[in-house]
């Protein structure tokens, strides 16, 4: 499909191919390239162990950025000093091929920890990767960052902001699955926009969008060594520069939120072994932090996730999870709804169990929990816990 992903904004090109990091014949190396230098912003894992690729990006995120290299099949983490050297060698070579500075490149990896990062196959593939970059190849790039993902994750957004050359738009791609969690676990997301935007405004808008999206999904409770969300803005649209006080800032921020939420929900739906998406809407939090904590705690509870898999309307597990989130809850008035049906309001509520079980059989289960403690809301997403999750991860 044309321009429905990371190359939706003007001036961006992408490519993806199989270079041999993965044994099986699927894409494992991706490039995202901008004609002109971008303002960049990113959020990175809080794990103490960090990938050499991620460390490289951390150093360059405040520079003008021209391109992002990404690979799957090897996390480039805790894999010895030789791999650090290989990382530098690859970046050096990519800069030569693209005619950029090394400092204008970002790098992201996902895959197994502890295996030496292969230099040969990557170096060999770089010329073709660079040569094949195009407006159309965004899905090849999106495929190259998949690990146990079953679906390609791409999306686009419009902003309604007019520029000299064109309307400002956005595009994105992500990989998820595996240990998706609060604080960005084994998750890569790349977002592009052709907006002219100041670094401060981009950073602020990205942080807000990530807090409401990627940081509100959970597949299990681990946090990876490689997670990053990066947003590149190349200014191709020629709009008047967006800063935090601009009248266009809200529209820009809303576009970024839309992209991030859409990618985050795609990631949660495609959690390892998942059969259902769980959406947890929390209302009535005493503060935003309380509401977020409870939403994530419910969405991340193994017991509740197993119950959703079995279509069990076990609201006791919802109360128990919510209660263990160290948040203020009005326990005498708190309410629980499953798929729109009230099941608890401080006391057990009679409801049609058969009808509810039937509703829970769909591909999305919505929980609403009202803390009755204040006015703050939050939404969290997760997926059910299935035998398939265990099967994937024991192998």
Considering the candidates 43, 100, 186, 379, report the single residue annotated as catalytic.
Answer: 186
CA distance 267 to 61: 24
Among the listed residues 23, 24, 48, 164, the single contact to its own copies using CB under 8 A: 48
As measured in angstroms, the least distance from the Cβ of 67 to its own copies is: 27
Nearest to 12 by CA among 189, 163, 190, 242: 190
Among the listed residues 15, 27, 47, 379, the single contact to its own copies using CB under 8 A: 47
Give buried/exposed letters for 254-271 (b at 16+ CB in 10 A, else e). Answer: ebbbbbbbbbbbbbbbbb
- Determine, following the binding rule CB under 8 A, whether residue 241 of this chain makes contact with its own copies: no
- Determine, following the binding rule CB under 8 A, whether residue 71 of this chain makes contact with its own copies: no
Size of residue set near its own copies by CB under 8 A: 62
The interface with its own copies within residues 121-160 (CB under 8 A) comprises: none
- Determine, following the binding rule CB under 8 A, whether residue 288 of this chain makes contact with its own copies: no
CA distance 231 to 52: 20
Total residue length of the chain: 395
Task: Report in angstroms the alpha-carbon separations of 358 from 308, 311, 313, 319.
Answer: 12, 8, 10, 22
What DSSP letter does each residue of 233-299 carry, written as one string?
E--TT-PPPB-TTSTTHHHHHHHHHHHHHHHHHHHHHT-TT--SEEEEEEEEESSHHHHHHHHHHHH
Among the listed residues 34, 139, 253, 301, the single contact to its own copies using CB under 8 A: 301
Comparing CB distances to its own copies, the nearer of 60 and 224 is: 224
As measured in angstroms, the least distance from the Cβ of 279 to its own copies is: 19
Binding mask 324-363 for its own copies (x = CB under 8 A): x-xxxx-x------------x--xx---------------
Instruction: Check if 77 is active-site.
Output: no
- Measure the CA dihedral 259/276/311/333, to 10°: -20
Comparing CB distances to its own copies, the nearer of 46 and 240 is: 46
Residues binding its own copies (CB under 8 A): 46-49, 75, 77-81, 112-116, 178-179, 183, 185, 220-225, 300-304, 306-307, 309-310, 312, 315-317, 319-324, 326-329, 331, 344, 347-348, 385-387, 389-395
């Amino acid at each position: 499909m044309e321009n429905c992903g990371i190359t939706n904004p003007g001036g961006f090109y992408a490519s993806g191919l199989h270079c041999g990091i993965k044994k099986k014949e699927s894409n494992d190396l991706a490039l995202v390239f901008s004609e002109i230098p971008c303002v960049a912003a990113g959020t990175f894992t809080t794990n103490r162990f960090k990938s050499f690729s991620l460390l490289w990006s951390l150093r360059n995120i405040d520079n003008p950025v021209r391109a992002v290299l990404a690979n799957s099949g090897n996390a480039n983490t805790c894999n010895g000093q030789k791999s650090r050297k290989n990382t530098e060698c690859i970046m050096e070579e990519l800069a030569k091929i693209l005619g950029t500075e090394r400092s204008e490149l970002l790098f992201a990896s996902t895959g197994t920890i502890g295996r030496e990062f292969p230099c040969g196959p990557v170096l060999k593939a770089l010329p073709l990767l660079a040569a094949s970059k195009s407006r159309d190849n965004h899905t090849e790039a999106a495929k190259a960052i998949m690990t146990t993902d079953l679906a390609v994750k791409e999306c686009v957004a419009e902003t309604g902001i007019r520029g000299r050359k064109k309307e400002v738009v956005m595009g994105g791609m992500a990989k998820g699955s595996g240990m998706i969690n609060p604080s960005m676990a084994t998750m890569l997301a790349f977002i592009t926009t052709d907006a002219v935007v100041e670094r401060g405004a981009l950073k602020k808008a990205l942080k807000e969008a990530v807090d409401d999206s990627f940081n509100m999904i959970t597949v299990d409770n681990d946090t990876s060594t490689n997670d990053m969300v990066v947003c590149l803005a190349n200014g191709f649209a020629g709009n008047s520069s967006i800063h935090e006080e601009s009248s266009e800032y809200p529209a820009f921020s809303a576009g970024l939120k839309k992209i991030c939420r859409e990618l985050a929900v795609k990631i949660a739906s495609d959690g390892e072994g998942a059969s259902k998406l769980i959406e947890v809407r929390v209302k009535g939090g005493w503060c935003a932090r309380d509401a977020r904590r409870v939403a994530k705690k419910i969405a991340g509870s193994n017991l509740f996730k197993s119950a959703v898999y079995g279509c069990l309307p076990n609201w006791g597990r919802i109360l128990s999870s919510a209660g263990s989130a160290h948040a203020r809850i009005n326990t005498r008035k708190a309410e629980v709804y499953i798929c729109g049906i009230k099941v608890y309001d401080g006391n057990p509520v009679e409801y049609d169990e058969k009808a509810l079980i039937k509703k829970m059989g769909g591909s999305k289960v919505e929980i609403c929990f009202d803390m009755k403690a204040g006015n703050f809301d939050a939404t969290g997403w997760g997926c059910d816990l299935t035998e398939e999750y265990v099967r994937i991860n024991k192998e």
